[in-house]
Structure formats: structure tokens, C-alpha cells
């Protein structure tokens, strides 16, 4: 099956405005505190780099990354979460903010939140650019949410299809080619 980029769902301008609003919410929550921002590779990289640059310096940010595999090459979740790359730093007694590109079934994030909590941080919160709420299989508290979106597969702004299209500045629906 071949796929192509379809309609734009969220433009570059709309994303950028919302990311700046989210950064304000984050700055308000963590004002005067240290914050370890944990990006989930690779999808969250572009979102995270815009987000942290918009958070005021009142928050002392450090960054780390984790890679998990849950999807392989298809557009359907396998339900299996495997750590491919763990954090370099300890989260003990730290404020942790997990940054994800999209929450779908919630399996990845619920696993990651549980894993972080076992490491005894001061706090754990979740920030996700996109949320397909109607697809949820397990409950996850999303503390900072960019956009709720319908149950359609999307690419761009960090999100890929088979490793492609992460670099698109806007977010697009994917369509099947006739
Ligand atoms: P969950 O564990 O919540 O089902 O899946 C979250 C992960 O699924 C995301 O980090 C992302 O990698 C992938 N995912 C879910 N929906 C989409 C989508 O519409 N587009 C892309 N590119 N990835 C998605």
C-alpha cells in the first residue's frame, strides 16, 4: 500500500501559537524551580526543541531523552513498550516533565509514567502536543495538552510514517494512494 500526504490538519502558525501558550503554562507551574524535560525519541524532538526555547529562564531546564518502541513500521499499535534508550541522568528528587508527540491508546505514556514514578522523582507530569482521546485504552493524565485531534494518522512536525515526513513544518493527514 502506498501513502501520500493529504490535507493539512494543523498549520505551522497554529502549532507555533499553541506551543508558546503551553510554554507559558509550564513556566507558571515550575516558576523558580528546576525541571528535567524528558523527550521521547524521535517523534517529540521537534516539538520539544520549540517548547523549551519558549519557556522563560525562570525555570531552570535540563534535558534528557528516552527511546521506546511500540509501533514498528505500521500505523497500528502493538501494545508492547520496549525501552530502546534509557535516560542518561537520574530523576530522583527532580521535577520531571515527559514530552510526547502524541497520545493514542495511552499504553506508551502510562508505562513511562509508572517507570518514572518507580525512580522516586519529586514530581512527574506529562506534556503532549496531540491527543487522540477517543482511542484511549488505558487512562493517562495529560497535564499539558496541545490539541485534541480525531482518530486519523498524522505526520509532520516530528511525527513520521515509516521514518519519513518528520521534517514537515505543519501537521498533515496521511491518505492512501489510489
Ligand atoms: P500509544 O502508546 O499512546 O498508543 O502510542 C503513542 C505513539 O504512537 C506515539 O508516540 C507515536 O509514535 C505513535 N502514533 C500514534 N498515533 C500516531 C499518528 O497519528 N501518527 C504518527 N506518526 N504516530 C502516531
pLDDT of 1 reads 76
Contact predicate 157/171, CB 8 Å: yes
In 119-167, alpha helices (H): none
pLDDT of 16 reads 98
pLDDT of 112 reads 96
pLDDT of 81 reads 86
User: For the chain, what is the radius of gyration of the CA atoms?
Assistant: 16
Fold (topology level) of 12-149: Rossmann fold (3.40.50)
The enclosing H or E element of 116 equals helix 107-118
From the alpha carbon of 152, which atom of ligand 1 is closest? 19
Indicate the top mutation candidate among 45, 66, 71 to test ligand 1's pocket, ranked by most ligand atoms within 8 A of CB: 71
pLDDT of 76 reads 58
pLDDT of 177 reads 85
Cis ω for the linkage preceding 102 (within 30 of 0): no
pLDDT of 75 reads 55
Q: Which residues of the chain have pLDDT under 70?
A: 70-79
Q: Whose CA is nearest to atom 23 of ligand 1?
A: 159
- Phi, psi angle pair for 170, to nearest 5°: -110, 175
* Residue ranges per structural domain of the chain: 12-149
Q: What is the largest CA-CA distance in the chain?
A: 54
pLDDT of 72 reads 53
Task: Specify the DSSP class assigned to residue 151.
Answer: S
- Which 3 state secondary structure label does DSSP give 72? coil
Distances (CA, A) of 147 to 16, 128, 150: 12, 8, 10
104, 131, 143, 151: which is the annotated catalytic residue? 104
Q: Whose CA is nearest to atom 11 of ligand 1?
A: 102
pLDDT of 77 reads 61
Report angle CA 28, 112, 91 to the nearest 5 degrees: 60
Indicate the top mutation candidate among 38, 42, 101, 156 to test ligand 1's pocket, ranked by most ligand atoms within 8 A of CB: 101
Angle between helical axes of 45-54 and 12-30 (0-180°, round to 10): 60
pLDDT of 69 reads 85
Tens-place pLDDT, residues 4-24: 999 999 999 999 999 999 999
User: What distance in angstroms lies between residue 33's CA and the mean position of ligand 1's atoms?
Assistant: 31
pLDDT of 78 reads 60
Amino acid at each position: 500500500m502506498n501513502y501520500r500526504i493529504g490535507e493539512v490538519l494543523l498549520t505551522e502558525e497554529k502549532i507555533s501559537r499553541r506551543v508558546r501558550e503551553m510554554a507559558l503554562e509550564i513556566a507558571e507551574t515550575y516558576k523558580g524551580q528546576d525541571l528535567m524535560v524528558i523527550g521521547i525519541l524521535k517523534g517529540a524532538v521537534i516539538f520539544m526543541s520549540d517548547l523549551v526555547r519558549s519557556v522563560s529562564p525562570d525555570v531552570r531546564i535540563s534535558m534528557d531523552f528516552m527511546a521506546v518502541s511500540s509501533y514498528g513500521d505500521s500505523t497500528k499499535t502493538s501494545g508492547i513498550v520496549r525501552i530502546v534508550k534509557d535516560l542518561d541522568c537520574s530523576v530522583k528528587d527532580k521535577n520531571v516533565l515527559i514530552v510526547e508527540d502524541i497520545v493514542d491508546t495511552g499504553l506508551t505514556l502510562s508505562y513511562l509514567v509508572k517507570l518514572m514514578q518507580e525512580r522516586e522523582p519529586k514530581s512527574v507530569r506529562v506534556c503532549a502536543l496531540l491527543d487522540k482521546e477517543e482511542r484511549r485504552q488505558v487512562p493517562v493524565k495529560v497535564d499539558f495538552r496541545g490539541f485534541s485531534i480525531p482518530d486519523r494518522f498524522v505526520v509532520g512536525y516530528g511525527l513520521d510514517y515509516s521514518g519519513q515526513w518528520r521534517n514537515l513544518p505543519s501537521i498533515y493527514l496521511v491518505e492512501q494512494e489510489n
